[in-house]
Amino acid sequence: MEGFCEQVVKVKKGTKHVVLCLLLVLAFLLPVVFLMALFYRGAAVGAFDYFYPLFALVLSMFGVFTFWLVIPRIMKVEYDYSVYGSDFIVAKVTAKSTRKRKLKVEIKHIEKLCKLSDEDIPNNKYVKRYDFTGNHDISEIYFAEFRLPQRGLCLLLFVPNEKILEGMRPYLNREIALKLFYGRK
């Protein structure tokens, strides 16, 4: 395996994740509470109908099973950056069980690579934006411009470590490597 290096970037949980989990909990909790209230209201009147608590039990068991499957997939997301030869590959790993390739780029097709804080990025000229930062701080984020034959000019936002950058260096354009690694223009 010539020129292989890998990095795993964990997605930091933000308010979006917390709100989504709370909405999922409320989506199953509110109907169960409503059905139990209907049962107790019927019990106070004297009419016992066991359909409501049975349905509430089935609904709550379905909710627990859904949480068991869905919440880990929402909360445990990682991005796996790999440099394999002259290819840069990004895969999304959910709950440490499902791996899906999101992007594969030949490093020689990268036209620009630098830290995000160094230059402004115009938002309107890219056909596709790939954001694999995982909600990390803006001071750690790099961006790369590259062309895909089937799409056009694309933007990649990612958080590489030194090992990934060193793995990319032999395949980068000379001007990009000089600017990125030696600070020359």
Summarize pLDDT for 160-172 with one digit per residue, the tens: 999 999 999 899 9
Tokens of residue 162, six digits: 């030194």
In the beta sheet, which residues pair with residue 129? 155
Asked if residue 68 is part of any domain, the answer here is: yes
Asked if residue 22 is part of any domain, the answer here is: yes
Summarize pLDDT for 110-163 with one digit per residue, the tens: 998 888 875 666 666 888 889 898 888 888 888 899 988 888 889 999 999 999
Asked if residue 6 is part of any domain, the answer here is: no
Asked if residue 32 is part of any domain, the answer here is: yes
Instruction: In whole angstroms, give the CA distance from residue 177 to residue 183.
Output: 9
Asked if residue 49 is part of any domain, the answer here is: yes
Give me the domain span that covers residue 24: 15-75
Average pLDDT of the chain is 81
Asked if residue 84 is part of any domain, the answer here is: no
Q: How many domains does the chain have?
A: 1
Summarize pLDDT for 82-120 with one digit per residue, the tens: 999 889 999 999 888 888 999 999 999 999 888 887 566
Distances (CA, A) of 118 to 60, 114, 139, 163, 177: 51, 7, 10, 21, 15
Asked if residue 46 is part of any domain, the answer here is: yes
Tokens of residue 62, six digits: 């379905």
Asked if residue 36 is part of any domain, the answer here is: yes
Q: How, if at all, do strands 128-132 and 152-158 pair?
A: parallel
CB burial string 136-159: b at 16+ within 10 A, e below:
beeebbbbbbbeeeeeeebbbbbb
In the beta sheet, which residues pair with residue 101? 91
